[in-house]
Every structure is written in structure tokens, then in C-alpha cells.
Structure 1
Amino acid sequence: MENSRLVRYIQDFGPKQREKFRQFVISPYFNQHQKTIELLEIILKEIDKSKPKLGKVNVHRRLFPKSDYDEQQLHNVMSYLKRLYYRFLSVHHFEQQNFREEVITLEAAYENNQFDVLKNRGKQLEKQLKRHGYRDSDYFQADYRLHKLLGYYMAHYEDRSKSHVFQNMLEKDVESLGPVQREDLYGFASNYCIRQINLGQDEFRRELFQLYKQGLRIGLIMQNGMLSEWNYKNITALGCSLKEYEWTENFIQEYKDMLPSHRRENAYNYNLAHLYYNKKQYSEALSVLLLVQFTDVKYHLNTSFLLLRTYFALKDTEALLSLIDTFRIYVIRNRKITTDQKRGYTNFLRFAKKLVLIRHQAPAYSRQTVEEKLVDLAKKVESTSNVINKYWILEECGVETGVKVG
């Protein structure tokens, strides 16, 4: 046993490290196995002797004086002590790292909803970082993890006005961060804005728009120099909702060539049509929409919905009713659309048809009767749980809505 790795490991320790290891092993938090403690005491007493009595039989007899020699029994105790040795090395190394304990304390406080600890210790760590003499890897790692953690806390639990840390970093410091940290920071901020918009906080639309513009400027939205068709669509839709028509048209044209080649023409035509529709250039929107090919379910559904709104704006009742019928058949027969989605679309088309007929028949009724019919339709839409694009029907019925973003 005196030639075992475990004994050599302990022998390599200096006096101070041996004592620290002993304190570690006798700590009931790390070890509650008495025989392991006894084995370490035997090793420490014998290890520096000229003829240490660390033979297996001798050590076993001292550990288990009333038992016959059992090598497996001794091996088990040695294995327990060796595991403690490895754990001691990791804890000792951990204690030597700048800011590591402080950061993990904050992360644990966040996970356990101990927000007073998070805020209080977070301020203390900020002070430590300011006093730190070097801007080394320890500093930057701790600073990043601290502000990422505080940012998530503020987004979930604090008022928006307090989340200034990430806003200052996005405006001034983001370009000094590495690619991964930039993407994390940008993703956090944009997702936060989207979540607030979907909760009815429309003022975040402008902030999200500015984030998109910044993301385009420094390449955060692109991947390998390419822009996804769905980011292209989201940015166009947001720009139109803010009536930033000139910027949006420039964006559509400028970033067309950065779209994936096999999706480029469809994405370009669909989004250009979306812009024309919002600018009330309905004939132009219709001309471009007819160029969109139904290469997949999403383009078929999105284009059909935009086409329906365009026909409605043009007051082309015959084309509208025909489209609603073909749209409904497509939804019902398509196997790639889930049952829940089918219900949402068929509900939408049912209400859309009622809306079209109310407007078509409006000349035959008084203004009050038409308004009553629209109010009644809006109530039915509101009371139906699964209606895709219900916001459009409610708007056309005269009900103000907040549109969610994706």
C-alpha cells in the first residue's frame, strides 16, 4: 500500500496542504465515513517515517481490528479517500480563481429566487471588479456573467426602466464583445422586446426596430453572411407597422441578395407585396403576390392571408369568396397542418366570410344595422378560443387590437 498512488499523492503535499486535506476529510459536509478519516490519520502518521508501516495487512488490522483480512474491504476505503482527494483538488483550485465563488453564489441565488442576495452581492462584485488591477480573462468572464444574470433578472422581475445595463452595453460596448457574447446579448434584448410587445406594451416596437437596425449594421442577424427569410419577413412587418415605409423599402431591396438563393424570389415578392399593402397600393400588392410560388405550407398560408386582405381592400367580393373557399379546402386537405392549426384557420375563414357578406350586403341595411352586425361578429370572434389572425377581423369590425410579433 505504501507504493499506491493515493499515498504518493498525499506524500507530495506540503505540511500546510496535508493539514488542509485533513480538515477537508474530517468535515462532515464533505465526508461522513469514519473509516476514511481513520485511514488518512494512519497515512499521515506513517508517511514521513523511514520505515512506514503501511502494508495492506497492517493497515487493515488497524482499521478493522476485529475482522479477518479482506483486501476488497480495504480497497473500498482507499477508493473513498481517493475520491475525496480529487474533490479536494477541485475545491482548492476553485478557491484560487478570481471572482468564481462570487459569480456562482449569484447564479445560485437567482435559481433559488433569492433576489435580495442577488442584488446585494451583485453590487459587491461590481465593486470588486472595479478594484481589480487587470482586465484579464477572469475579469471579463465575471463581468459578462454578472451582467447577463442581472439582465435576465431585470427582464423577468424588474420594471423596464431599470434594465439600463444591457441598453448601455448594446449602444456603446457591444462591438467590443466576442461573437458569442454579442449574439447572447442581442438575443436577450430582442426576445425581451418581443415578449413585452406580446404583452401589449406597444412602445417596445420602436425599440425592437432599433435593435433590428443595429443587428443589421454589425451583422448580428446574419449567419455566414446570409439573412434568413423569416428575419427578412419580421423586419419588413415591423417596419410597416411603424410606417417606416422608405426605410423598409430600402431594406427589402438592399438585403434581397443576402437571402438564401432557393428562397430569394418568394421572400422578396411576398415582403414587397406586404409593403405595398400597408402603403395602400393594393393593385401593386396584388401584382406582386401573384408571383409568389406556393413552395411550402408557410408561403401558401401567409400569401393566401395577404391576398385575402388585398381583395378585401379592393372590395372584390367575388374574388374574396372564391379565395375563401379554395383556402378552406387547402387547409382541410393538407396533412402538414396540425389539427389545432386547421381549426384556427377554418374558424378564421368562417368569420372572414361573414365579414365579407356583411360588407357586401351593407347597402341594403341602415348604418346602425351594419354596425350592430359587426359588433355581434366581433363578440363571436372574441369568444372563440382558436382563431388564426383574429386581429384582422376585429380591426375590420372596428375593434382596436394589439398585434403580436414572432
Structure 2
Amino acid sequence: MQESVQHKGVTHFTIVKILRTFSPDEMNEFEKFLHSPFFNNHSTILRLYKELKKFYPLFSDKCLTKEHLFSVANKGKSYDDQLLRKYLSRITKLAEEYLSILQMRTEGIRKDYNVLLQLSRRNIKEIYTRKIKKVEKRFNNFQQFEAEHILHKHFFSALKYELLNKDNQIKPHNELLVDSINNLLDYFLIVSGWLLNEIESHSYTYDTGSKRNAVVAPIDRNMIVEFVENAISNLHSEDKDRMIFLEMVLNDMKLSSPESGFSAYTNLKKLVYGNSHKMSRQILQFYLQRMNVYCLLENLRGTHDMHLDLFQNYRKLLEENLFGSEGKTNLRFLEFRGILISALKIKEFEWAEKFINENVKYVDEDLQANVFHYGYSLLRFYTQDYSESLSHNSKIQSGLLPITIDSYILKAKIFYVLGHSDSALSLADSFRHFINLNKLISDFHKQNLLNFLKYFRAIIRLKAKNNIAKAGKLLAELQTSSNTREKKWLIEMTEDLLKLK
């Protein structure tokens, strides 16, 4: 028993999980890092790493055991599990230190701020005065809206004020204090907006429990709207970029209002597309995704047909390469699904097929085969190749909730179109039980799906009875219904019934 534990592989160790994510260049650089006595003065750690490096990138060779690593690090010594764990813990901490350095390299402005803090504390006036002028020049040359830059402008304004005060300047420099406040408020607005949007999105996506136990944010959209409207009214006319920024924040906050949501969306889209060159990747992605959430909810509610807008926004995200980070494209399943469905809804079939073939590789590797068949099952349904659609659907072997739900709906629609009414009704019953028993589906989505089933079953029965009068009433009810999945398709099927008379 003890022997089997000892000879266990090392793939479960934290350091191995970290090293698996390193590029070949990073593996080589980390070795140089370990050679530096500033970071590491233990030759044992270096020997241990060099041996680990031989098994990169999988680290799954059967001979890579704890005993093997220990024998390389400490030749001639008997295996000591506790000592090896200390070595592995030490090299893990060094890997974390290296990751911190990698992150610092991407944060030039934060590094400048840290240097200025040190120069200020050491009271080296000549150097920090020269340094802060260089930093200010960088800020002046940076024309994009970027949350982190806005925050650091606040820090630099406050720091510059402190430095000037330290020099006993008679002038109060209130302009630096005002600039610091404005940048801090702008950062607060953009981050608060993002957080409030996430909270709202979760209320639609997840079952968050009873309202009595719900987490309540200390601010709401109305408070931000009131504040921003007041800020805009007091803004100097020459501060055009800040006006654009505040207008985007304002319209974002108004998107959730039933009264002003659509006009706010129209305004926000114009602002985002017209000023995308002024936005960082992060900010542009934030607003495009925010508009997509609005479009998706409008489509679900059935209040506006936003499929074209949704497709345009997704295409913009793809064109700007805003999926993923650090130059690496990465698509979550829900993003892949949203892009594909938006294209199919407006009959961009060639574009959709090209998208599937070129982008399925960017989905999580474990999901790629399922997502490929999922994509083609949808595509073939929309191109009316129903047998091929069912064939791809049958090859999907994923328990992912959105795939399961879409699979139910797709098969139900195919059975109906092919005239298999009994199969369609049987599937609808199974789907209804699945919805009611699933605790992960939010109340909003649960009602959305149950409304689909209600109208779907009604259409099947009316078709069987050829009841044209009731079909007309059902159509009127459908057209005014809200929060109904596949509302447009249900209306089309009901209209087809009326054509049969």
C-alpha cells in the first residue's frame, strides 16, 4: 500500500500544473530565473527543475515519480517524502514569483508609479521630477478609454500633488485634486456598471434562491444615472472625450429600463461604433458584450427582433479579435453558440458554416467534438436538411445544460416539421419534466422555456384538428406574448396553419 503511494506520478502537484501552461520560451526563461542568486540560492532546486524540464510539456512519463526527482536532486540519499515536498513547495513559490514578474512586464504604468513612489520616499527630487514628466507625456499620448489607465491617472494626480506639496509650493494645485477625483469617479462608474450588469445577468441565468436571501448591491442604476446626468450637465464643453465616456456609461445604465432601454441601446451602439478607435480592447469588449446581453434578452422577451444587431455586434467582436486574451483566441461555448445562432437567424448560412469550421478549434478542447456536431445540427436545421440535422444531434454527448436544452428544442421542432406529432408531444413532455426538475435553471429561463412548450403543444393539437378559428386566436396571443423561446418560429408555424384553410 505504502509503495503504491510512493510511486505515484507527479502530475497532481501544483508546480507541474503551472509548468504545463508555460511556453517553451517561458520554460527557458524560468531556468535563467532559477540560476539567479537574487531569486534562488539552492542548487537542489535548480537540479530538480532541470530534471522536470526534460518531461515538458505533458509530465506524464511513467518514470517521472517522486522517488526519481528526489534521487536527481539529492544523489546518494534515501527518499525523504517530507523533504521533497519542501523542494516542490519552494519551486512553486519561485514559479509564482516568475508569474508576478511576467504580469509586471505588461503593466508599464503601474511599474512607473511604483518607481515614483520609491523615488519620492527617498526624496530624490531631480529624478522623480524628470520621471513624472515622462509619465505625464505617456498619459497625454494615450488617447483610448481604458479602465486601468483611468485609475492610474487618479493615482498619478494624487502623487504629483503630494510631491508638489512636499516642495512647499505656495500654489494650492487644486486642478490636480479635481483631476484625481474625476478619474477616480470615472473608474468607479465603469467598474460599478460592469458589476451591476453581472449581477443582473446572473438573475436571468442562474437560480439565485429566494429574494429574501438575495445579495443586494449598495448602489443601483438609478443612483448612477442621476449622478452621471448631473456630471454631464456640469461638464466643460471642451472635454469631449469625457463627455463621450459619460454618455456611454449613462446609456449603459439605462439599458435595463423598460421605458428607455431601446433608445438607450440605439444611442450606445452609435457611441460605441463611432468611437471604437478611442477604446481599449477591454472597454470595447465590455460594451459590445453588454449590448449583446440586451439583444439576447429582447429576443427572449419577444419585444424587439434584435438578431441582426446581435450578429453585427458579434462580428465586430470577431473582427477586433476580442475573444480571449494576450493575442490568443478563446471562445466559451455560450459565445460560440450566440455567434452561430445570430448568423443563422438572419440566414447567413455560408458565413455560419465557415464560422463553425474555422472557430470550433478555439472552444475548450474537451468540448470541440460536441460543439462541432451541435453547430452542424443547427446549421442543417436552418437549411432544412432535417435528417442530417438529427444525425449530427444524435452524435452530441455532452451534459452541458445549454446544449441539452437546445437539443430538446431542436428535436421537437424537427419532429413537428416532419409531421411526427406523437414523437413531438412525447419529447415535449420529457422536456417539461426536465425543466421543472432542474434546479440550475433560473425562474426567467424556466418560464421562457415553459411558454415555448405551451404554445408548441397548442400548435400540434390545432394542426391535428385543423381548427383555423383557434389558430387565429393563438396567433394573436403569440404576437403579444413575452418571454417566450423561439417566438418567431412559433408565429411562423401558426401562420402556416392559417394558410391551410
For this structure pair, what is the TM-score category when the shorter chain's length is used for normalisation?
0.5 to 0.7
1:275 to 379, 393, 398: 379
Q: CA deviation at 1:267?
A: 2.0
Closer/same/farther in 2, CA of residues 272 and 99 from structure 1, 3 Å limit: same
Q: Distance in 1 between matches of 2:434 and 2:352?
A: 32
1:384-403 pair list within 5 angstroms: 388-398=485-495
Structure 1, residues 345-369: CA drift from partner, whole Å, max 9, x if none?
A: 455434423321322343xxxxxxx
1:167 to 270, 273, 283: 273
Q: CA deviation at 1:189?
A: 4.9
Q: Structure 1: 5+ residue runs without aligned partners?
A: 1-85, 127-142, 363-369, 400-406
2:312 to 207, 210, 214: 210
- SS of the aligned residue for 2:399 comes to coil
Q: Distance in 1 between matches of 2:459 and 2:481?
A: 15
2:364 to 260, 275, 282: 260
Q: Distance in 1 between matches of 2:483 and 2:302?
A: 18
- SS of the aligned residue for 1:262 comes to helix
CA RMSD of aligned residues (A): 4.0
Q: Distance in 2 between matches of 1:348 and 1:206?
A: 22
Q: Distance in 2 between matches of 1:200 and 1:347?
A: 15
The equivalent of 1:292 in structure 2 is 396
1:326 to 430, 436, 450: 430
Closer/same/farther in 2, CA of residues 327 and 153 from structure 1, 3 Å limit: closer
1:248 to 341, 345, 352: 352
Q: Distance in 1 between matches of 2:230 and 2:444?
A: 43
Residues 212 and 235 in structure 1, CA contact (< 8 A), matched pair in contact too: yes
Q: Distance in 2 between matches of 1:122 and 1:283?
A: 63
Q: Distance in 2 between matches of 1:289 and 1:209?
A: 24
Closer/same/farther in 2, CA of residues 199 and 374 from structure 1, 3 Å limit: closer
Structure 1, residues 139-194: CA drift from partner, whole Å, max 9, x if none?
A: xxxx4x54321223345376636864422222xx15xx544334334445545655
Residues 95 and 101 in structure 1, CA contact (< 8 A), matched pair in contact too: no
1:25-174 pair list within 5 angstroms: 95-96=175-176, 99-100=179-180, 111-113=225-227, 115=229, 118-119=232-233, 121-126=235-240, 143=241, 146-154=243-251, 156=254, 160=266, 164-170=270-276, 173=277
Q: Which amino acid aligns with 2:229?
A: F
Q: Distance in 2 between matches of 1:329 and 1:110?
A: 42
How many pairs does the alignment contain?
Answer: 284
Q: CA deviation at 1:309?
A: 0.5
Q: Which amino acid aligns with 1:286?
A: L
TM-score (norm 2): 0.47
State which drifts further: 219-228 or 344-353. Answer: 344-353
Q: CA deviation at 1:340?
A: 7.1
Residue 222, structure 1, aligned to residue 324, structure 2: yes
State which drifts further: 285-294 or 238-247. Answer: 285-294
Q: CA deviation at 1:374?
A: 1.2
Closer/same/farther in 2, CA of residues 345 and 318 from structure 1, 3 Å limit: same
Q: Distance in 2 between matches of 1:94 and 1:100?
A: 10
The equivalent of 2:337 in structure 1 is 233
The equivalent of 1:184 in structure 2 is 286
Structure 1, residues 310-341: CA drift from partner, whole Å, max 9, x if none?
A: 11111122322332233334334445446776
Q: Distance in 1 between matches of 2:446 and 2:309?
A: 34
Q: CA deviation at 1:381?
A: 5.9
Q: Distance in 1 between matches of 2:443 and 2:308?
A: 35
Q: CA deviation at 1:376?
A: 3.5
The equivalent of 2:472 in structure 1 is 375
Closer/same/farther in 2, CA of residues 94 and 266 from structure 1, 3 Å limit: farther
Residues 147 and 165 in structure 1, CA contact (< 8 A), matched pair in contact too: yes
Residues 151 and 163 in structure 1, CA contact (< 8 A), matched pair in contact too: no
Q: Distance in 2 between matches of 1:153 and 1:317?
A: 49
Q: Distance in 2 between matches of 1:241 and 1:312?
A: 19
Identity of aligned residues (%): 20
Residues 285 and 322 in structure 2, CA contact (< 8 A), matched pair in contact too: yes
Q: Distance in 2 between matches of 1:225 and 1:195?
A: 26
Residue 357, structure 1, aligned to residue 461, structure 2: yes
Q: Which has the higher contact order (CA 8 A, sep 6+)?
A: 2
Q: Distance in 2 between matches of 1:105 and 1:297?
A: 39
Q: Which amino acid aligns with 2:376?
A: L
Q: CA deviation at 1:260?
A: 0.5
Q: Which amino acid aligns with 1:125?
A: D
Residue 301, structure 1, aligned to residue 405, structure 2: yes
- SS of the aligned residue for 1:352 comes to helix
Structure 1, residues 290-327: CA drift from partner, whole Å, max 9, x if none?
A: 11224133322210111101111111223223322333
Q: CA deviation at 1:395?
A: 3.3
Which structure's CA Rg is the greater one? 1
Q: Distance in 2 between matches of 1:347 and 1:247?
A: 31
Residues 193 and 207 in structure 1, CA contact (< 8 A), matched pair in contact too: yes
Q: Which amino acid aligns with 1:276?
A: R
TM-score (norm 1): 0.57
- SS of the aligned residue for 1:289 comes to helix
Residues 323 and 329 in structure 2, CA contact (< 8 A), matched pair in contact too: no
Q: Distance in 2 between matches of 1:346 and 1:105?
A: 43
Residues 273 and 286 in structure 1, CA contact (< 8 A), matched pair in contact too: yes
Q: Distance in 2 between matches of 1:384 and 1:181?
A: 35
